[in-house]
Amino acid sequence: MSEITNFRGEVARLHDEASADIAAEALLKRVGERVRRARERKGIPRRVLSEKSGVSPRYLAQLEAGAGNISIGLLQRVASALDHRIEWLVGEDDPWTSDVVKVARLFRVANAKVQTTVLETLNAIEFHTARAQRVCLIGLRGAGKSTLGRMAGAALNIPFVELNRDIEEHSGMPIDEVMALYGQDGYRNLEAQALRRVIETHDTMILAVAGGIVADPETFGMLLNHFHTIWIRTSPEEHMTRVREQGDERPMAGMPEAMDQLRAILSSREPLYEKALAQVDTAGRTPEESLHDLLDVIERHRFLA
């Protein structure tokens, strides 16, 4: 039995070696053909290419015939002499017929304004793809993120997740205990882990996050890149009233300083919240009216398209 196993292993090894040899031979032929075509398109004889690249005419002839096992260093010199990038000579895409390579070539010679426009367009496409159909509601506590997120999820028949609830489920304890046990830094680490989980789990969803997530640049950056973000905002007075209605008296401790602190927090975070792609102001609005506003924003910006 062991002899049969060894024999099969040897056959597999020889097959892999033969496949590698075939691939290497195909690569050499592809490189040779592209060097020849590039030289002919530039209208230069092999002798001139030899002088510009420092590679002998004889070796260039072997290379163009697909028989020259050229080193990377020499191939780079040949590519430079032909005003081509080395990957154009070795890549699988044909540099003269591939749209991808053509775009890359045109981009290289375009002016700065055109390059900037192209990058902005492609980045927008990339971000839209990365964000999939995920919507995230950001903003300070009391703005209405959880209420609106839950209502919108039900109206659109898509999952609604509160990131803090996910942290509680995976840690096995309430957020207050998480903060007491792990501290602010520990909580931020768990928050980042939870965000990665929901990104991996959901392509379509509405997420509500804690107001302080914007304070961690790395986690907030991940959020902006993978979600269509909407800032749910309201007035400082309504923030305070709604938090009290939730049964949390802590914001009122130390009044009248509490309102000043709230205003200061809002002021410091506004530049970060404004990075959201859209905003919904819930001040003076009923939940139903705010839901209408939120759904309108989602549809208008095609966040779920």
What's the CATH code of the domain at 148?
3.40.50.300
Whether residue 111 is contained in a domain is answered as: no
In this prediction, residues 50-61 reach a mean pLDDT of 85
Both 88 and 135 in one domain: the answer is: no
Both 221 and 149 in one domain: the answer is: yes
Both 172 and 76 in one domain: the answer is: no
Both 164 and 274 in one domain: the answer is: yes
Q: What is the pLDDT of residue 296?
A: 97
Both 55 and 148 in one domain: the answer is: no
Secondary structure (3-state) at 229: strand
Question: What residues does 208 pair with on adjacent strands?
Answer: 137, 162
* pTM, full prediction: 0.61
| Short-list 123, 126, 120, 127, CA closest to 227 | 127
Whether residue 112 is contained in a domain is answered as: no
Is a pLDDT exceeding 80 seen at residue 5? no
Both 81 and 172 in one domain: the answer is: no
- Identify the domain boundary among 96, 115, 147: 96
Whether residue 14 is contained in a domain is answered as: yes
Whether residue 31 is contained in a domain is answered as: yes
Whether residue 49 is contained in a domain is answered as: yes
What CATH number is associated with residue 51?
1.10.260.40
Q: What is the pLDDT of residue 149?
A: 97
pLDDT (tens digit per residue) in 140-177: 988 999 999 999 999 999 999 999 999 999 999 999 89
Calpha distance 199→266 (Å, rounded): 27
Both 288 and 150 in one domain: the answer is: yes
290 contact partners, CB below 8 Å, separation of at least 6 = 144, 148, 280, 282
Output DSSP code: residue 160. E
Is a pLDDT exceeding 70 seen at residue 21? no
Rg, C-alpha atoms of the chain: 30
Residue 38's Cβ-count burial label (10 Å; 0-12, 13-18, 19+) is buried
Is a pLDDT exceeding 90 seen at residue 280? yes
> Which range marks the domain in which residue 158 is found?
124-300
Both 73 and 164 in one domain: the answer is: no
Whether residue 244 is contained in a domain is answered as: yes
Calpha distance 135→204 (Å, rounded): 8
Number of structural domains found in the chain: 2
Whether residue 185 is contained in a domain is answered as: yes
pLDDT (tens digit per residue) in 216-236: 999 999 999 999 999 999 988
| Short-list 180, 298, 166, CA closest to 229 | 298
Calpha distance 305→299 (Å, rounded): 8
Output DSSP code: residue 256. T
